[in-house]
Structure 1
Amino acid sequence: MDWKSAKLILASTATVFIASQVVKKMCNYFFNSKKWTEPEVASEDTSCSEVLNLKNREINDVILFSDEVVRHTIRVPPNRDITICESRELNCFKLIKYIKSARETLDVCMYLITSTEIAEQIIRLGQKHVLVRIVVDSDMAYTAPSQIKRLKEFSFIQVQTSKKSILMHHKFCIVDGPKAIKRKYLLKAHAEKLNVPTEFSKDSVKQTPKNRNTKGFVMSGSLNWSTQAMVSNHESVIVTSHPNILSKFEKEFESLWVENEPVR
């Protein structure tokens, strides 16, 4: 065999080897890409395209008010996602959407409320027969531009300033808490028994549909409900429907709320 023939055989062998490697990589890509890439794409779509899904109220969410736009999802055991979708405009929308999702009750424990947009949403909830209770710090309640004076003008919104001697620096709200819903319907039953025409009476409060399971959740973090905080500050809010966490926040709210109505 001459040198020319040997070079031709070596070149052919190399070509076949390279082609086989290309085919192998293409097969690996097409057969394994579904396994590895689709969950990542789905997670991103879940966190940012849908924004949030409140249909089943299984919520584990983190809202970060930051200057950067970051979209990703963190998976935590057991097979739950914590959605992180950082964009000030989107996060303002998400926060208000969570508030608007209240079906029966909204309990707010907030150091400062100055956002006119959030105040407007609270008023609309009250007009839809959502029972609203608000606890605010006594020093900040009527300091401009606080919205508390405006909210107190509506009889269906109950507002109390903290009676504690220490600073009430909480920043959380409970949407459809089990204890709050139970209290609402005890008040309604008491009003009907006395035949008292109040905002909890038969004509103005809808019965809870038997076929709808209203699951509550809590939002808590560093964020005051102020435009300044949402537009300019670095803030965080954790949103969860975990029953143990929800129960602890309900207990804390009840420790601050001074009960005036006979609900037993």
Structure 2
Amino acid sequence: MGAAGGPGRAGVALGLALGSAGLVLVLALAAWRRRRRPMREVLFFPSLPSCTEGLLAQAAGPEAAARPCPCPLPQRDCSLSRLLRLLLSARRSLDLCLFSFSNPQLGRAVQLLHRRGVRVRVITDEQYMGLRGSQIGFLRHAGIQVRHDQDTGYMHHKFAIVDQRILITGSLNWTTQAIQNNRENLLVMEDAEYVKPFLDEFERIWEEYNPINYKFFSRDSK
């Protein structure tokens, strides 16, 4: 009867078993993805001399990528190129909280993200934002939101948050001097328990440095 009328009990049981095994496999794969090891990386500086023009050109689009690169330096993996790739991986947001920002390659990467539609916010130090070579003026001119302190102390943080999930922090100021000559470090991590305090700190400072709170004249001035 089983052979003439259908798969029979054995066939049904086998089908159910295979279906259950497939479901278990799907659930196991989903659990593995949830438990995948978060990104953790350490970058040390000074960075090896390397051409980053190709990397920035690719991010700018096909037309820019098709142009010949005039840079004589070799294109190779280095701490600066890895930092640029991390920044350019942003799809939704990039929050920067930086004491000093004058490196032009990093400045171009931030502007490219802004043009791509990524929400970029920058917090910086009032005394250092106006120094010669600072990228802050270029970022503001591009339409990127920038806020700064008006305190007597420095806004000395040095961290970035990509898509509210990847934290980049360490001793590095985003200057060419620091990248090419100084002994510096950056720690990159995707652990939510560490990213969240930095997100909270950024939001706290962002509200504290709201331009409506700026005071351009001394309270004692008349």
TM-score (norm 2): 0.62
Contact 2:111 2:139 (C-alpha < 8 Å) held by counterparts? yes
1:225 to 174, 191, 213: 174
2:122 match = 134
Report the counterpart of residue 158 of structure 1 in structure 2: 145
Q: Structure 1, unaligned stretches of length 5 or more?
A: 1-55, 69-87, 178-215
Contact 2:47 2:78 in 1 (8 A): no
Aligned partner of residue 132 in structure 2, secondary structure: coil
In structure 1, distance between residues paired with 2:37 and 2:113 = 18
Unaligned runs of 5+ in 2: 1-35, 49-75, 212-222
Match of 1:169 among 156, 160, 170: 156
Runs of at least 4 residues of structure 1 off by over 2 A?
163-166, 258-261
What is the Cα deviation at residue 126 of structure 1?
0.4
Deviation for aligned residue 1:165: 3.7
Question: In structure 2, do the counterparts of structure 1 residues 124 and 118 end up closer, same or farther at CA, with 3 Å as the change threshold?
Answer: same
The alpha-carbon deviation at position 258 of structure 1 amounts to 2.5
Alignment check: 8 A CA contact 2:47 2:79 kept: no
Q: 1:231 to 1:66 in 2, by over 3 A?
A: closer
Say which SS state the counterpart of residue 102 (structure 2) adopts. Answer: coil
Paired residues of 1:220 and 1:238 also in contact (CA < 8 A): yes
- Letter in structure 1 aligned against 2:101: I
> Pairwise mapping of residues 113-262 of structure 1 onto structure 2 (< 5 A)?
113-155=101-143, 157-177=144-164, 216-258=165-207
2:84 aligns with one of 79, 92, 96 = 96
Over alpha carbons, which structure has the higher Rg? 1
Instruction: After superposition, give the CA deviation of every residue in 1:106-161 in whole Å (9 maximum; x if it has no partner).
Output: 00000000011111010100011000000000000111110111110022x10111
Equivalent residue, structure 1, for 2:65:
none
Query: Alignment RMSD, CA only?
Result: 2.2
Residues 1:139 and 1:128: Cα distance change in structure 2 (over 3 Å): same
**Structure 1: how far apart are the matches of 2:137 and 2:179?**
22
User: d(CA) in 1 for partners of 2:81 and 2:126?
Assistant: 29
Identity %: 33
